[in-house]
Structure 1
Amino acid sequence: MKNAALITGATSGLGLAYANEYGKKGYNLIITGRREDKIRTNAVYIENTYHIKVKTVIVDLAYEEGLNILLNEIRDDEIEVLINNAGFGLKPVFTEVSKEDMNGIMFLQMNTVVILTQHILKQMMVRNRGTIINISSDGAFAVMPRNILYSSTKLFILNFTEGLYMELIDTAIQVQVVCPGFIDSDFHESAGMNVVKKKKGFMKFMDPEEIVNLAMRDLKKGRVVSVPGLDAKIIRFISVFLPRRMFYNIIINFTRKRNKKLNR
């Protein structure tokens, strides 16, 4: 497949929004996910709507076996855009996280991102063109209790992407990391989190399409770190400029209040 955009975790939410965005732009798509019925339904809709080709790869990228399946599936494809979006969260406190979940989240949100990026970047370097978009989170700026491994791996993605940008500064390859706040998707339900998505005010949920629209504007402007939405920008600001002790107190108090509301 030529002129292809590869999007991991395109079953719903941000990944699906990116699939529609790049389908609209005329790219052929390679989309991955674990829920076969849903992702195949998405593929049919996108093909019929934008008159492009869509290849689906049903795979779990939290395991080396799944990553190897994907690498084999794309060995003959000419990929112009890579969007590393696949991810998941963990609900328990750190001491209650299973070894399987620890290995899974670290492999998916670090190993898979690095290995897939290097694999595709090599062919982009030959052509001296391409776009790499890695999805991080506002959690990369502000780690929270019950969110330690997720935030830590998202911080890795942020640092990795900024470093990649500097290495590629003399090429025509675009690199961006997107750090959204809460997204209205299946993410929290999949992680077993009880959340209220219709609330207003600070830390509200944003539509995936809105986040993609803002991130694409930033990409056009050459902005390496895209922080879509005011709430995520506030999180980034306080994490940088507040004294750490004050920052810890704010996060701890916020987490305690949130947990009380969720446990009522």
Structure 2
Amino acid sequence: MEVVIVPTERVGSVGADIVGSLVRRRPESVLGLATGSSPVAMYADLIRRHRDGELSFADVRAFTLDEYVGLPADHPQRYRNVIARDFTDHVDLAPNAVHGPDGLAADIAAACTAYEQAIEDAGGVDLQVLGIGTDGHVAFNEPGSSLASRTRIKTLTRQTRLDNARFFGDDVEQVPVHCLTQGIGTIMEARHLLLLATGRAKAEAIHQLVEGPVSAMWPGTVLQFHRHVTVVVDDAAASRLQLADYYRDTLADKPAWQQH
């Protein structure tokens, strides 16, 4: 696991460097896209690079991490609409290149199975973008989730709904109770995981993710077992890391031949 600690204003650009490097090396890459506040600055930087002619997503395919169950197709907080608004509508991704779990499916279990199959048929995810919740959840894998879980329906914790109420007029009762989410086992099959976090509210979750014991109570900790994880955080999110100075030294002395 590589831990990159940078000023807040650089978290998005460092993430964009990593995504951009992959897309230039492998134009037909499969990206895993996260919603939420953590990757917004990165998406804005990628959009700028695309508009400046530095980057094309024409041959890229993408899969989103999760989706609320039951939100109407035109609801502004439906994650398919959020990712379009934040990123995909502003670059040259092909019209049918972005796929997400179907939160309006009549048969939820079948929809989850079909989503797993679609990822497999695409050859798997090359780079999965992630955020982390204040309670350590990744995607919507809440504390207590199986560390081998696959795409499925989950009940959101009260804390997650409170955290997301800001997107629903600060009314927690408007936040759906259920979601579809890629499982931790699904996420762990991506070839590279890129997790972004900023702010002191994420400090304990980042401490547990990087330095804590692996536990279903902090689902993100299972990323310690992944072969290629990059964690990009600002100083506030890194404030609980016991080895923060070592991570800074490691980054400063990183061999030039090592890729992202």
Normalising to structure 2: TM-score of the pair? 0.42
Normalising to structure 1: TM-score of the pair? 0.41
Larger radius of gyration: 1
**Structure with larger RCO (C-alpha < 8 A, sep 6+):** 2
